[in-house]
Amino acid sequence: MHSLDLKKPDGRSLTLYSTRPISNAEGMSAPSPFQDPQGANPHLRWHPMRGEWVAYAAYRQNRTFQPPPEYNPLAPMKDPSNPTELPEGDYEVAVFDNRFPTLTGEAHDPPSLDVRTEPGNGKCEVVVFTQDPKAALAELPLARIELLLQVWADRTRRIASENPTIQYVLPFENRGAEVGVTLHHPHGQIYAYPFIPQVPARMLEQELQHYQQHGENLLVSMVRAEIATQERLLYEGEHAVAFVPPCARYPYEVWVTLKAPTPSFGALSDAARADLARALKTVLMKYEGLWQRPFPYLMAWYQAPTDGQEHPETQLHAVFWPPYRSKERLKYLAGTELAAGMFAMDVLPEATAAQLREVQVNVDA
């Protein structure tokens, strides 16, 4: 993997990644649609009743930048009078600081309130998967998906080493208008938190308890059961698997992970990474094939916290949450899901697994 670090005129960082040396690296500079310093200053407030942090970044709603509908800030810049976020060049993946971060290392002086407050310390990055605005992650070659897995490892390592207060790095992709996405150029985001957020914290508790009781990583145990059962399995390679979990909270929920204990992106061997890319692409292609149309989802990658501890109890894995409960109907989160935290499913995981198993895909490159 090759990379090139650049700095935008407004002070934000840009890193270009490629499997080959980036040829025109010498004269390359980082553009920005924004010339003035960023000045983002989010803060956190403690929610005493829920025991969790909430982030406030009020300038996000007030941004005055109103681009024309055809303007794509993630496309390589062709015309300096109409700057985008990315330069022209033969890089493959690009990562830059979000101009409107929910969390940033520069946050300072939170307001004083009746609830505890903290600066909105952390980092929010945009990860551009390809220069092609019309592509989808499912259409990218395996080599690009492998590169992306390496990029996520590199970002995790760099974010944590540049800001030692970071405890958790979460890469995710929101895809499709149905989940609120307005910019359809293939891209994801990375959020880095100065604490372990509630969902992965709860997961780590469960994993640690299992590890202490059984001496094995919980998800590795679940994977073994899925392989034995086969019923919900969508992919099994030498290293990686994909399946609909028996406890799916969303119709068409899928998990992608490794068979062997692997706490984070940084722990992937070359062979495991290649197989994980194939598992991921298989799932993405099955999704696209299911209804023969672009398939929206939230894809999140859980990994070990960057808290300086060993985490043999936890396992790198992706979770896909699609918003549809059937071809024509969205699943809305309502009373029992949001207010109680008990998800109600009107379709069995075995039924959605059967549908996804039937979708034939050919992952050749």
Site residues (CB under 8 A) for a second copy, limited to 325-364: 325-326, 330, 332-336, 338-348, 351
Instruction: Choose, by CB under 8 A, the member of 140, 147, 233, 298 that binds a second copy.
Output: 298
Cβ(147)–Cβ(270) under 8 Å?
A: no
| CA 140 from centre of chain | 16
Sign of CA dihedral 312, 316, 320, 321: positive
> Three-class SS of residue 96?
strand
Q: What's the min distance (Å) between Cβ of 202 and a second copy?
A: 6
- Binding flag, residue 261, a second copy (CB under 8 A): no
- Binding flag, residue 365, a second copy (CB under 8 A): no
Residues 183-202 that bind a second copy (CB under 8 A): 189, 191, 193, 197-202
* Residues catalogued as catalytic: 187
Cβ(282)–Cβ(146) under 8 Å?
A: no
Q: Which of 130, 164, 167 is nearest to 148 (CA)?
A: 130
Instruction: Choose, by CB under 8 A, the member of 54, 143, 271, 354 that binds a second copy.
Output: 54
Nearer to a second copy, 22 or 345 (CB): 345
Q: What's the min distance (Å) between Cβ of 109 and a second copy?
A: 15
**Tokens describing residue 185:** 């150029």
Instruction: Choose, by CB under 8 A, the member of 24, 29, 37, 47 that binds a second copy.
Output: 47
Nearer to a second copy, 204 or 361 (CB): 204
Residue count of the chain, please give it: 365
Q: What's the min distance (Å) between Cβ of 102 and a second copy?
A: 4
Residues 221-240 that bind a second copy (CB under 8 A): 222, 225-226, 229
- Binding flag, residue 219, a second copy (CB under 8 A): yes
> Three-class SS of residue 286?
helix
The C-alpha atoms of residue 201 and residue 191 are separated, in whole angstroms, by: 15
Q: What's the min distance (Å) between Cβ of 324 and a second copy?
A: 12
- Binding flag, residue 291, a second copy (CB under 8 A): no
Nearer to a second copy, 89 or 200 (CB): 200
CA–CA distances in Å: residue 101 to residues 13, 130, 164, 189, 195 = 13, 22, 19, 11, 17
Which DSSP symbol is given to 77? P
Instruction: Choose, by CB under 8 A, the member of 22, 170, 260, 359 that binds a second copy.
Output: 170
- Binding flag, residue 97, a second copy (CB under 8 A): no
The C-alpha atoms of residue 1 and residue 239 are separated, in whole angstroms, by: 21
- What is the signed CA dihedral for 68, 73, 75, 78, rounded to 10 degrees? 70
Nearer to a second copy, 91 or 96 (CB): 96
Count Cβ atoms below 10 Å from residue 124 Cβ, excluding itself: 21
Residues binding a second copy: number (CB under 8 A): 78
CA angle (243 as vertex; 237, 249 as ends), nearest 5: 160
Terminal C-alpha separation, the chain = 18
Instruction: Choose, by CB under 8 A, the member of 2, 33, 60, 88 that binds a second copy.
Output: 60
- Binding flag, residue 207, a second copy (CB under 8 A): yes
- Binding flag, residue 244, a second copy (CB under 8 A): no
- Binding flag, residue 13, a second copy (CB under 8 A): no
Query: Angle of helix 349-358 relative to helix 270-290, nearest 10 degrees?
Result: 90
- Binding flag, residue 161, a second copy (CB under 8 A): no
Nearer to a second copy, 30 or 44 (CB): 44
- Binding flag, residue 112, a second copy (CB under 8 A): no
Residues 302-321 that bind a second copy (CB under 8 A): 302, 319, 321
311, exposed or middle or buried, with CB in 10 Å at 0-12, 13-18, 19+? buried
